[in-house]
A and B are shown apart, each in its own frame.
Chain A
């Protein structure tokens, strides 16, 4: 693959951002590479964020936005903790309840988006706030507490919440698995083509016979369920769930996706780009602990990186659009 071909891919900006951040940390910030590469913190961070960022990115490719994930992560962890921790039901019931809650909220988001002309940002903002209220009220009503303990059996821990090698959360494997599945589905199968068509021109896609409504609803279900999955894994790992937390995921996921080369208005992006964007984001926000830079600066770096990455992505997209293999001399 030539350098030109590389630049025309959606993930080129993300790769360059990753390289630039890594170089900056190593050359100017005195990053302790030995400690950094052995550290689990940023990989754990990336995995939890990445599982949510992937479907959020796919929704953005489809031209929609889902910010309700911020409430669905604590909703997922509270559901499993209340059902299996507080009421002592089998852990499988708690896990299924958490995932089912994601499906229900995803359906609400999706159906409202395709049935009304309200932008999905507003619809999911509404479900975000509503779910926060429901989770807090339900928790206080049912358990009298905003924090619930959960003692998961060994098999559930092995599957969803254990530490590998003492530090690495096994959700990392889920993240890699999800990335592989999304990659094949989006870039190798017809449904991926439908997604890009949907994001590029919804009316034309519908005229071409693509079930645009079902596809949109499916993506919302995917993102809400992924969020409850992350919350559920967290509760099983840490043996407890809190009603707060999760709001940071909204902005972190959007930054990761945009740095990953997804076009905010839809129709362009890649799974690999979202993956690398998440990795880059994790390295900046967590890797800064291994440098001599005060960690308070990390937000500034992320802001600058976001801007530079988006500008780069715009430039590369223009290149891709104007690309013609052999210019002929006539016309």
Chain B
């Protein structure tokens, strides 16, 4: 059996007296997509931030390639190859594609104090990187980021992370604000990243998107891992149900049914 790229063992996270994450154990392998599902407030953001080095776990262990790791700050995680792509962030609308691709890691030419930003190389590399992910519409590195569609921006951000050596790619709701077509672009890119052997953690609350790309699924409810299963083990309805709090939804259904049986088929008045 191969060693997982990233593993969490019984990770807990509390903010003061409030426990946010309870005994989370997860593994992500290279070339696999782990879908992290959960409703708002389930603790997804806290979990991502713990993975990305923003928060430190209160207890529990994080391992990379089987070795325990401790991230003091986000840069530690980045240096180990954990890259987070946020829903909107990470891109600068009024900068060109080439310039924003290399922010903080600008290629230069010349020598000594006369090193100048190598715009031509930057543009070429950026365009090539994003085109290799199948986004062929981006072909001019001098275009401004703000002129790209939401899907193209996400794709560019993912291509950037992969270009700079990401081994674990954390995608925080990349498809949330996108239309159907745009979302399918992003999903294609997720699959491409997986094909390249990157471990992808894909956060979403859109079950359809998760099922399209996921190999493993983990459902978070109130900070605890409510379910963990492989592709094909659960149906879409079961997953949706789990995300909404599982039994709560089933109970509501049963309650309404009982009510209707005793009230000549009329549903109950909505509670105000």
Binding site for B on A (CB under 8 A): 184, 188-190, 192-194, 196-197, 200-201, 203-205, 207-210, 263, 267-268, 317, 320-326, 328, 331
Interface string of B48-74 (1 = CB under 8 A from A): 000000000000000000000000001
Binding site for A on B (CB under 8 A): 74-75, 78, 89-95, 99-100, 102-106, 108, 115-117, 137, 139-140, 143-144, 146-147, 181
How far does the Cβ of A238 sit from chain B's closest Cβ, in whole Å?
A: 36
Residues of B close to A196: CB separation below 8 A: 92, 94-95, 99
B144/A197 in contact, CB under 8 A: no
B89/A209 in contact, CB under 8 A: no
Residues of B close to A197: CB separation below 8 A: 92, 95, 100, 103-104
- Known contacts A323-B143, A323-B144; is-contact A200 B104 (Cβ 8 Å): no
Residue among A193, A194, A204, A210 making CB contact with B89, cutoff 8 Å = A204
- Known contacts A193-B102, A209-B75; is-contact A204 B92 (Cβ 8 Å): yes
Residues of A close to B143: CB separation below 8 A: 323-325
Residue among B75, B91, B116, B140 making CB contact with A204, cutoff 8 Å = B91
Residue contacts A-B, CB under 8 angstroms, 11 given: A189-B116, A192-B117, A194-B104, A197-B103, A201-B92, A204-B90, A205-B92, A205-B103, A208-B103, A209-B105, A267-B94
- Known contacts A190-B117, A200-B94; is-contact A331 B75 (Cβ 8 Å): no
Known A200-B95, A210-B104, A328-B137; further 16 A-B contacts with Cβ < 8 A: A189-B115, A190-B108, A194-B103, A196-B99, A197-B103, A200-B100, A201-B90, A201-B91, A204-B89, A205-B104, A208-B105, A209-B78, A267-B93, A317-B94, A324-B143, A331-B137
A200/B147 in contact, CB under 8 A: no
Query: A10: nearest residue on chain B (CB-CB)?
Result: B94
Cα–Cα, bound, A194→B104 (Å): 7
B104/A320 in contact, CB under 8 A: no
A207/B95 in contact, CB under 8 A: no
- Known contacts A189-B115, A197-B104; is-contact A325 B93 (Cβ 8 Å): no
- Known contacts A321-B147, A323-B143; is-contact A193 B116 (Cβ 8 Å): no
Residues of A close to B75: CB separation below 8 A: 209
Cα–Cα, bound, A268→B95 (Å): 8
Residues of A close to B102: CB separation below 8 A: 193
